[in-house]
């Protein structure tokens, strides 16, 4: 597998506001950590960090993201939004939708598992980890996305739960092409996160591609375990859960783990 071609990416992404500056690392612990370090040094909005090899890729709650060198597209985008920090939770649902759109361009019928994963054929193909940072009165978001592109197999427990674009479609798509497609899909979606009408329209499409909506689910988080029906998502992309006693409760994405109960 060839290393990521920076020149080809710069040409293809010229003018893209999510790739104003492209940083490609041969090896790093986590592109999210690298992007946060760059943010602290004043890197601009739209700094894109890519890595050929991640040695300590992270999911939520300190869980690991396994990354086979050269087979997984590992990317983090640094955002310095002009919208208020209260709207920052909108970024992860927007990213999940963009990932699904891009995977569909390459023939994978991807769906969104709330809050932060893309699934194809019941298996996880992509995960998103958005992290918020503050510097004085300013804030930034690092949106990290991992996409399984070229893996032919997965080891250990992931063998049952993970899949890749190659496994699903039989297509060998270069990592650069997947990254370019994702950034193209994310650009209008991220731009819409500061606008209520644009975000509402985006959430309509999100509902259409959700494999969580309407399902019986169990949510486990620091606040306890909740079971019910995933009834809807709100204007920040939070999950509205109809519990068994009829109450409607709002679940934040943060630290919550979700399992569908009917599969
Ligand atoms: P949950 O399913 O509990 O709601 P999640 O799927 O959003 O959580 P995280 O809590 O962010 O996952 O943690 C990442 C999880 O993703 C790991 O625990 C592991 O199960 C899974 N995982 C790790 N690497 C890969 C990969 N390359 N492909 C698919 N799944 C992976
Ligand atoms: C999840 O599985 O729910 C989230 C996984 C997020 C993985 C990506 S890979 C690029 C970026 N760097 C990280 O350490 N995590 C994210």
Distance (Å) from CA 61 to ligand 2 centroid: 11
Query: Rounded distance, CA 170 to CA 181, Å?
Result: 18
**Can you tell me the mean pLDDT for 120-142?**
95
Q: 231-256, pLDDT tens digit by residue?
A: 999 999 999 999 999 999 999 887 77
| CB of 24 sitting under 6 A from ligand 1 | no
The tokens of 44 are what? 């601009």
Q: Which pLDDT does position 2 carry in this prediction? A: 53
Distance (Å) from CA 96 to ligand 1 centroid: 14
Domain ranges of the chain: 6-208, 216-258
Q: Which pLDDT does position 223 carry in this prediction? A: 82
Q: Give the domain 6-208 fold.
A: BirA Bifunctional Protein; domain 2 (3.30.930)
Distance (Å) from CA 65 to ligand 1 centroid: 6
Helix H, strand E, coil C: the string for 61-103 is HHCECCCCCCCEEEEEEEECCCCCHHHHHHHHHHHHHHHHHHH
Q: Is 262 a residue whose pLDDT tops 80?
A: no
| CB of 199 sitting under 6 A from ligand 1 | no
- Torsion angle of alpha carbons 100, 104, 107, 112, nearest 10°? 30
Query: Rounded distance, CA 67 to CA 240, Å?
Result: 32
CATH of domain 216-258: 2.30.30.100
Q: Is 99 a residue whose pLDDT tops 60?
A: yes
Would you say the pTM of this structure is higher than 0.85?
yes
Q: 29-59, pLDDT tens digit by residue?
A: 999 999 999 999 999 999 999 999 999 999 9
Task: Give the pLDDT band of residue 10 (cuts 50, 70, 90).
Answer: very high
Query: Rounded distance, CA 67 to CA 197, Å?
Result: 37
Q: 20-30, pLDDT tens digit by residue?
A: 999 999 999 99
Report whether 20 contacts 38 (CB < 8 A).
no
Average pLDDT, the chain: 95
Nearest-CA neighbor of 161 among 150, 148, 172, 180?
A: 148
Half-sphere exposure of 84 (CA within 13 A, CB side): 3
Whether cis (ω within 30° of 0) applies to the bond prior to 162 is no
**Can you tell me the mean pLDDT for 64-68?**
95
């Amino acid at each position: 597998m060839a290393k990521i071609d920076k020149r080809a990416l710069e040409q293809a992404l010229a003018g893209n506001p999510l790739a104003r500056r492209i940083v490609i690392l041969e090896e790093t612990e986590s592109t999210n950590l690298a992007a946060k370090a760059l943010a602290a040094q004043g890197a601009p909005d739209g700094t894109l960090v890519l890595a050929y090899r991640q040695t300590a890729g992270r999911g939520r709650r300190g869980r690991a993201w396994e990354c086979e060198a050269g087979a997984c597209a590992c990317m983090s985008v640094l955002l310095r939004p002009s919208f208020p920090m209260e709207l920052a939770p909108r970024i992860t649902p927007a990213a999940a939708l963009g990932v699904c759109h891009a995977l569909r361009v390459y023939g994978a019928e991807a769906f969104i598992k709330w809050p932060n994963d893309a699934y194809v054929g019941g298996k996880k193909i992509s995960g998103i980890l958005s992290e918020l940072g503050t510097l004085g009165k300013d804030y930034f978001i690092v949106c990290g996305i991992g996409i399984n592109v070229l893996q032919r197999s997965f080891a250990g427990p992931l063998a049952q739960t993970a899949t890749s674009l190659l496994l699903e479609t039989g297509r060998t798509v270069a990592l650069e092409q997947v990254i370019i497609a994702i950034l193209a899909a994310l650009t209008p979606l991220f731009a819409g996160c500061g606008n209520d009408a644009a975000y509402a329209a985006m959430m309509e499409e999100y509902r259409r591609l959700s494999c969580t909506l309407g399902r019986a689910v169990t949510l486990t988080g620091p606040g306890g375990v909740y079971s019910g029906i995933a009834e809807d998502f709100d204007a920040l992309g939070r999950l509205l859960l109809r519990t068994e006693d009829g109450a409607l409760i709002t679940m934040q994405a943060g630290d919550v783990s979700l399992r569908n109960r009917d599969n």
